[in-house]
Structure 1
Amino acid sequence: MALFLLRRLGAMVATLVAISLIAFAVIELPPGDFATAYVAAMQANGVVMTEEEIAGLRAAYGLDGGLLERYAAWIWAILSRGDFGQSFEWRQPVSDLIWGRVGMSMVVELTALVVMWCVALPIGVYSAVRRYTVGDYAATLFGFLGLAVPNFLLALGLMYLSFRLTGSALSGLNDDRFIDAPWDAARIADFLAHLWAPVLVLATAGMAHLIRVLRANLLDELNKPYVVAARARGLPEGRLIWKYPVRVALNPLVSSIGLLLPTLISSSVVVGVVMSLPTAGPLLLRALMSQDTYLAGAFILLMGTLAILGTVISDLLLALVDPRVRHR
């Protein structure tokens, strides 16, 4: 296991270097850069800038060097000082902008993941064990609806119902009076009162997907010889189901956990915009649209890091869940 982890850590470092370089290059692919967009915005407002002013602006933002030169300076600042650079649009250090947003995103997304698994696991098992019953048909209907309805449409529906019933739309994660307030008991209570809506929206589609996949996998396992043999030996049905076929049926879901970690940042982009959430998704979208290179690059680098860590975590969890992986 130690050798396995060392190999994976070595691969992680090489992969992160590749991700950072590709991300930095992709952000630079559209024509122009932040200085070009800024000059165009100034000209639209009737302000004409001279060539000297434009050159000074590019030098001030560090855009006068080549791609590899700017990438090397950015990576060296991250490795040596933990400095992700300066945001062009916000004129603030990138670190000051992202960590609060990332923390809020992780709270929302992790809560949605916990709710999703806690609800989908028992429903998926029940739907497979009680196949073709009313409960199975209800779970199937919920699965189809959850997969068919986009998250942003569900968010709009919830906001409309809330406005019709209570006179206030479900937006943000705190009331206006708590936005800059310290995290005391009153703000935490207000945060929890707002948290349920984005959690419900984000968990619905993933919950429906988990139910469908778990039901299909478990149906494949229930009639296999090892289950028939365990049942013939008199093993209690509940213990038999949860100890053996459910663990095997979870393998595809556990192996996909690595793909879920990057969504702690990226999956709530549209929902965050619709519901005005102070999460990382809307800030990432705005950084990409304005070609705010260092801010967007920091987000993409963080998402790549989470994807790689998630893959390692998936491998370890798979070895814990399935003894066959450990024996191999």
Structure 2
Amino acid sequence: MPQGTPGRTLLPRFSYDESCPVLNYIFKRLLSAIPFMFLVSLTVFVLIQLPPGDFVTSWAAQAAAAGEEVTPAMMEEMRRRFGLDQPLIVQYFAWIGGVVQGNFGYSFEWNAPVATLLGERMGLTLVVTVSTLILSWCIALPVGIYSAVRRYSLLDYSFTFIAFVSLAVPGFLIALILMYMSVKLFNADVTGLFSPEYANAPWSWGRVKDLMAHMWIPVIILGTEASASLIRIMRANLIDQLHMPYVVTARAKGLTETKLLLKYPVRIALNPFVSTLGWTVPRLVSGAVIVSIVLNMPIAGPMLMQSLLSQDIYLSGAFLLLLCLMTVIGTLLSDILLVVLDPRIRVQ
């Protein structure tokens, strides 16, 4: 029994465990993410509603362009059925209340639940994103380290030239070139992420192999573009670290060059790699829209753009809200990894 003042009852009281600052830091960050996501959801919903008109207006314009007759009564009936005749604040709380319960609403354009569309597109988006991240790191790490250690060498100039070309050439142009080469040289159609027979099939080992056979072009395009900038960042940061006093001291103590390089300066120069985890998925979705359209990839970018154009508010709002949540979680993971990676950083 705990001892206390006589006549008083000791009530359990929540307190932070100071012996575990990382867990305290994670808990505080997760708590602060709740009001932040609420403000983001409100901002996203208001911004989507800012353009003039609504989904019914966009639908009526497309129907009129196709020669169909659209009457004002039909438009009012659609607004009433979709709930677009309600005030903005009523629409927002009806939507965010459903989101809290796991119901992201109904897509007007696709005539399907938003949760179903999110599951299909975001799963493939994460697969492409993780593959792109792994490829870009596998290229940028060794090339950046070599360019820093052997700077101004022939290979360093060659890597620099290739990196600048990769940054300058648009991704969709590289996609068109690779598509042409795959058809001409290998007689293979690599557009999309699946063959026609696997496009709507349930998941199986054959569908996974078909996905891998189609995914190499988008991963190469997006990974090459991402690794080009990371190579320059890694090279510059590592060059700065190689002339630090602790490197000179470790070398004077007889530490081998490989062990010295990997244990100290490379570990600190990795900070920019880890710090970019937070916005990897949003950057891929927003920056690879044209590449995704050219390659006909069923990922989040093209559907998000189409939902914004058609003012499909629940679908576009759910996409943007989910991307922001991934950014918050990714930033938290990158901050934790930075604490583990760099001994100079403390969560306090």
Amino acid at match of 2:269: A
> What is aligned with 1:122?
142
> What is aligned with 2:116?
96
Instruction: Tell me which moved more, 148-157 or 85-94.
Output: 148-157
1:1-328 alignment, distance < 5 Å: 1-80=22-101, 82-263=102-283, 265-326=285-346
State, as a whole percentage, how many aligned pairs show the same letter. Answer: 46
Tell me, what secondary structure is at the counterpart of 2:240?
A: helix
Tell me the CA shift for residue 43 of structure 1: 2.5
Tell me the CA shift for residue 327 of structure 1: 8.1
Instruction: Tell me which moved more, 70-79 or 137-146.
Output: 137-146
**Pair 265,158 (structure 1): closer, same or farther in 2 beyond 3 Å:** same
Tell me the CA shift for residue 278 of structure 1: 1.1
- Quick check: 1:158–1:170 contact (8 Å CA) kept in 2? no
Distance 1:229 1:10 in 2: 43
Distance 2:103 2:216 in 1: 35
Distance 1:46 1:199 in 2: 42
Deviating beyond 6 angstroms after TM superposition, the runs of 4 or more aligned structure 1 residues are none
Amino acid at match of 1:13: I
- Quick check: 2:129–2:281 contact (8 Å CA) kept in 1? no
**Pair 235,291 (structure 1): closer, same or farther in 2 beyond 3 Å:** same
Distance 2:246 2:193 in 1: 49
Distance 2:83 2:263 in 1: 59
Distance 1:173 1:48 in 2: 38
- Quick check: 1:320–1:326 contact (8 Å CA) kept in 2? no
Tell me the CA shift for residue 56 of structure 1: 1.0
Amino acid at match of 2:330: G
Distance 2:284 2:322 in 1: 10
Tell me, what secondary structure is at the counterpart of 1:261?
A: helix
Tell me, what secondary structure is at the counterpart of 1:145?
A: helix
Tell me the CA shift for residue 37 of structure 1: 1.2
- Quick check: 2:59–2:310 contact (8 Å CA) kept in 1? no
Tell me the CA shift for residue 214 of structure 1: 0.3
Where structure 1 has 5 or more consecutive residues not aligned to the other structure, the ranges are none
Distance 1:90 1:327 in 2: 45
- Quick check: 2:40–2:321 contact (8 Å CA) kept in 1? yes
Distance 1:268 1:104 in 2: 14
Distance 1:152 1:42 in 2: 31
Q: TM-score, normalised by structure 2?
A: 0.90
**Pair 327,49 (structure 1): closer, same or farther in 2 beyond 3 Å:** closer
Q: TM-score, normalised by structure 1?
A: 0.95
Instruction: Tell me which moved more, 306-315 or 265-274.
Output: 265-274
Give the root-mean-square deviation of aligned CA atoms.
Answer: 1.5
Tell me the CA shift for residue 145 of structure 1: 1.2
Amino acid at match of 1:133: S
Per-residue CA deviations over 1:257-301 (Å, capped at 9, x if unaligned) read: 212132354343211100001111111111111111000000000
Amino acid at match of 1:86: Y
Tell me the CA shift for residue 64 of structure 1: 0.3
- Quick check: 2:104–2:115 contact (8 Å CA) kept in 1? yes
**Pair 155,234 (structure 1): closer, same or farther in 2 beyond 3 Å:** same
Where structure 2 has 5 or more consecutive residues not aligned to the other structure, the ranges are 1-21
**Pair 327,281 (structure 1): closer, same or farther in 2 beyond 3 Å:** closer
- The number of aligned residues is 327
- Quick check: 2:143–2:231 contact (8 Å CA) kept in 1? yes
